[in-house]
Chains A and B, each alone.
Chain A
Amino acid sequence: MRIAAIISLPTQQNGEASSDDARLQTTSLSTRSYASLEILGQTLLDRLICNLKDFGIQDCTVISEDANRPFLPSRTAPDGVLVSGWENAVASYVLQGVDYLLLVRLKTYNDIDYGDMIRFHTETKSALTQAHASDGLIDVAVVNTSSLAAADASYWQALSGLQQRRYAFRGYVNRLSELSDFHRLANDGLYGRCNLAPIGEQTREWVWRAQGSEIDDSAVVTGPVFIGTGSRIAACCTISGGVAVERNCEVDCGTVVQDSWITQNTYLGVALDVRRSIVTGNQLFKLDRNVAISIDDDHLIANALKSVSYFSGLSNFLRGTERAA
């Protein structure tokens, strides 16, 4: 039995962005996050590909598609609808003699056991199976390529004619529809409420550190906390209660971070107080107020790649690393 996967990344079309700033930023964050933003040390796309490999699915194609396109066509799908990237991927796998196609749209996070879903699909002998959670359908489906190959029209249209069966999934699902959902996902991963495990070594209870991360001896770190690759927590910082500091971040002296998600390459300045927030680039989203602010001052919050830490030289000197160098 040969299985391949087609993963589609939803992208917002030009001109569709909402005029509301907060909404715009949410859209921009979610579109970026699937493929490039790391959550607890790895992007959702990379995690999915790793999961599929664990289930023995080696062939995988990633395509981008209009976020507004339905995941599966309706029965009354109009003629002539051509989803070129998707069609090409399906055609390629049909030619290769793949038996089943796993279709996944990376718009939600879920802990579906793909092996179990494919087993259900084969046992029930259905042509098309879509996952279904208690709050609605999930964009994960399995289809027999033989059912598609026999069709005269496009594969997309052939899909609309197939009898569909539902695979009931009662595990963890996060729709990632609101910005706060990303924070919740990181938090749920840290607290072990879903399978999104931090990618790093657990150095002590509830504290995970990726390779190359640095935590100053004077910093207070109380888990659950994840510190990503190459990230640095400077002197006298307090990091506690559900914090994910992703790759290449710098949290400068005396700053308090609590219950927050700091996305990769972010610099947090000296003596700040970051609570229940998402910080990405120079933007800070305050979850409790549902408000986003942009900060133009590089001394406060900035992209870590361009910021200068005035205190890092002093910290290094005090630790004696300058002399060692």
Chain B
Amino acid sequence: MERSSTIVVKLPEVFGAKAARKLGRELKSKFTNANPHVVLDLSRVKKIDSKGLEALLSCMEEVAKQDGAVQFGRVSPEAATMLELTRMDRLFDKFPSFPVEAPAFTLAPEAVAEESQTTEAKGSVQVPVAA
């Protein structure tokens, strides 16, 4: 039986269009098997715009296609306020989650940070490891 993988993504302080695109690209490349579990750590997020919110929805859609689950990890007060305002907190609450004790592997924060293309090309993302 194929085992599911857990990917922990630490989102940057400003989660806008650029960071959202990067998140999408990197998550797609990291789904190595079915039932991926994605934990979005929003503890550092101070500012998130509608492109960022759209990216979270896309992420959820992509993961759902592969019978996986998306869960929020820690959420900063600013991000929580934005998620409540747009009612996205409810959407993610309803999404199936995985046991808290599941081993998790963190993508380097730079992976989804607002940076130049040259930095992106260096590929600072760690490969998700099977749990």
Contact = CB atoms under 8 A, between A and B. Distances in A.
Contacts, number: 38
Contacts of A300: 50, 85-86
Interface string B40-75: 000000010110000000000000000000000000
B81 interface: yes
B77 A286 contact: yes
Interface stretch (A59-67, A173-181, A183-191, A270-278): A270-278
Nearest to A272: B85
B78 interface: yes
B104 to A, nearest CB: 26
A291 B78 contact: yes
Nearest to A296: B49
Interface residues of A, number: 18
A274 B49 contact: no
A123 interface: no
A301 B50 CA distance: 11
Interface string A180-208: 00000000000000000000000000000
Contact of B81 (A271, A286, A299): A286
A291 B81 contact: yes
A299 B77 CA distance: 22
Of B81, B84, B85, B87, the most chain A CB neighbours within 10 A belong to B85
Given A272-B86, A296-B49, 14 more contacts: A272-B87, A273-B84, A273-B85, A273-B87, A274-B85, A275-B84, A284-B81, A286-B81, A289-B80, A289-B81, A291-B77, A293-B81, A297-B50, A300-B85
Interface of B: 47, 49-50, 77-78, 80-82, 84-87
Return the 4 tightest CB-CB contacts between A and B, nearest first: A291-B77, A289-B77, A286-B81, A297-B50
